A = this chain, B = another copy of it.
Amino acid sequence: MNKLRLWAPETEEAFVLVEGQKIEMVKSGGSWWETPSEPAKHGTSYRFSVNGRDFFPDPASFWQPEGVHGPSCFIDHSLYNWTDSNWQCPPLGSAVIYEMHTGTFSEEGTFEGAIQHLDYLVDLGVTHLEIMPVNSFAGRHGWGYDGVALYAPHEPYGGPEGFKKLIDKCHTKGLTVILDVVYNHLGPEGNYLGKFAPYFTDKYASPWGEGINLDGPYSDEVRSFFIENALMWMRDYHIDGLRLDAVHAFVDMSATPFLEELANAVRKLQVSSGRRHFLIAESDLNDPRVIRPADIGGYGIDAQWSDDLHHSLHALVTGEKQDYYSDFGEISQVAKALKNSFVYDGIYSSFRKRKHGRTPQGLPGYSFVVSLQNHDQVGNRGFGERIGHLCDPLLQMAAAALFFTSPYIPMIFQGEEWGASSPFLYFTDFDDEELAEMVREGRKKEFASLKDREEDIPDPNAEETFNRSRLSWNERDQKTHSEMLSWYRKLINLRKENPCLLDGDRENTEVRFSEEEKWILLERDRIVTVCNFSTEERTIELEQTGSKGKILLKSHDDLRLLERSLVLPPFCTGIIRK
Of A247-255, A409-417, A493-501, A567-575, which binds chain B? A247-255
Residues of chain B within 8 A (CB-CB) of A256 are 346, 355, 358
Q: Which residue of B lies closest to A290 (CB)?
A: B255
How far is A358 from B298 in the complex, measured between Cα atoms in Å?
Answer: 14
| Residues 286-337 (chain A) with a chain B CB within 8 angstroms | 286-289, 292, 295-298
**B292–A297 CB distance below 8 A:** yes
How far is A229 from B295 in the complex, measured between Cα atoms in Å?
Answer: 33
Residues of chain B within 8 A (CB-CB) of A287 are 254-255
A171 to chain B minimum Cβ distance, whole angstroms, is 36
Residues of chain B within 8 A (CB-CB) of A5 are none
A202 to chain B minimum Cβ distance, whole angstroms, is 8
Stoichiometry (number of copies): 2
Of A87-95, A211-219, A393-401, which binds chain B? A211-219
How far is A296 from B248 in the complex, measured between Cα atoms in Å?
Answer: 21
**A354–B297 CB distance below 8 A:** no
**B285–A289 CB distance below 8 A:** no
Residues of chain B within 8 A (CB-CB) of A215 are 354
A367 to chain B minimum Cβ distance, whole angstroms, is 15
Question: Does chain B have a CB within 8 A of A357?
Answer: yes
Question: Does chain B have a CB within 8 A of A473?
Answer: no
How far is A383 from B151 in the complex, measured between Cα atoms in Å?
Answer: 52
Residues of chain B within 8 A (CB-CB) of A251 are 204, 251, 253
Main secondary structure of the interface of A (DSSP, over half): loop
**B217–A354 CB distance below 8 A:** yes
Question: Does chain B have a CB within 8 A of A220?
Answer: yes
| Residues 100-115 (chain A) with a chain B CB within 8 angstroms | none
Q: Which residue of B lies closest to A360 (CB)?
A: B255
> How many residues on the A side are at the interface (Cβ–Cβ under 8 A)?
35
Question: Does chain B have a CB within 8 A of A80?
Answer: no
Question: Does chain B have a CB within 8 A of A390?
Answer: no
A285: contacting residue among B202, B255, B358, CB under 8 A: B255
| Residues 196-236 (chain A) with a chain B CB within 8 angstroms | 202-205, 215-220
How far is A510 from B130 in the complex, measured between Cα atoms in Å?
Answer: 53
How far is A35 from B254 in the complex, measured between Cα atoms in Å?
Answer: 45
A427 to chain B minimum Cβ distance, whole angstroms, is 29
**B348–A255 CB distance below 8 A:** no
Question: Does chain B have a CB within 8 A of A479?
Answer: no
Question: Does chain B have a CB within 8 A of A356?
Answer: yes
How far is A297 from B288 in the complex, measured between Cα atoms in Å?
Answer: 10
Question: Does chain B have a CB within 8 A of A352?
Answer: yes
**A288–B255 CB distance below 8 A:** yes
Residues of chain B within 8 A (CB-CB) of A348 are 220
How far is A385 from B507 in the complex, measured between Cα atoms in Å?
Answer: 62
Question: Does chain B have a CB within 8 A of A353?
Answer: yes
**B219–A354 CB distance below 8 A:** yes
How far is A357 from B220 in the complex, measured between Cα atoms in Å?
Answer: 13
How far is A255 from B248 in the complex, measured between Cα atoms in Å?
Answer: 11
A298: contacting residue among B297, B352, B353, CB under 8 A: B297
Q: Mark A252-266, 1 if CB is under 8 A from B, else 0.
A: 011110000000000
Residues of chain B within 8 A (CB-CB) of A358 are 255-256
Residues of chain B within 8 A (CB-CB) of A253 are 248, 251, 285
**B255–A353 CB distance below 8 A:** no
Residues of chain B within 8 A (CB-CB) of A353 are 217-218
How far is A205 from B253 in the complex, measured between Cα atoms in Å?
Answer: 13
Q: Mark A341-384, 1 if CB is under 8 A from B, else 0.
A: 00000101000111111100000000000000000000000000
How far is A215 from B349 in the complex, measured between Cα atoms in Å?
Answer: 12
Residues of chain B within 8 A (CB-CB) of A357 are 255
Are A255 and B354 also in contact (CB < 8 A) when A296-B297, A297-B292, A297-B298 are? no
Q: Which residue of B lies closest to A288 (CB)?
A: B255
Q: Which residue of B lies closest to A297 (CB)?
A: B297
How far is A12 from B529 in the complex, measured between Cα atoms in Å?
Answer: 48
**B352–A217 CB distance below 8 A:** yes
Residues of chain B within 8 A (CB-CB) of A288 are 255
A459 to chain B minimum Cβ distance, whole angstroms, is 31
Q: Which residue of B lies closest to A295 (CB)?
A: B296
Q: Which residue of B lies closest to A202 (CB)?
A: B205
**B285–A354 CB distance below 8 A:** no
Q: Which residue of B lies closest to A250 (CB)?
A: B253
**B298–A354 CB distance below 8 A:** no
| Residues 153-176 (chain A) with a chain B CB within 8 angstroms | none
A363 to chain B minimum Cβ distance, whole angstroms, is 13
Residues of chain B within 8 A (CB-CB) of A356 are 254-255
Given A255-B288, A295-B296, 6 more pairs with CB closer than 8 A: A204-B251, A216-B354, A217-B354, A220-B348, A254-B354, A297-B297
Interface CB pairs A-B, < 8 A, 6: A203-B204, A218-B354, A219-B354, A220-B354, A296-B296, A297-B298
List the 5 closest pairs (A to B, CB-CB), nearest first: A297-B297, A217-B353, A255-B287, A255-B358, A219-B354
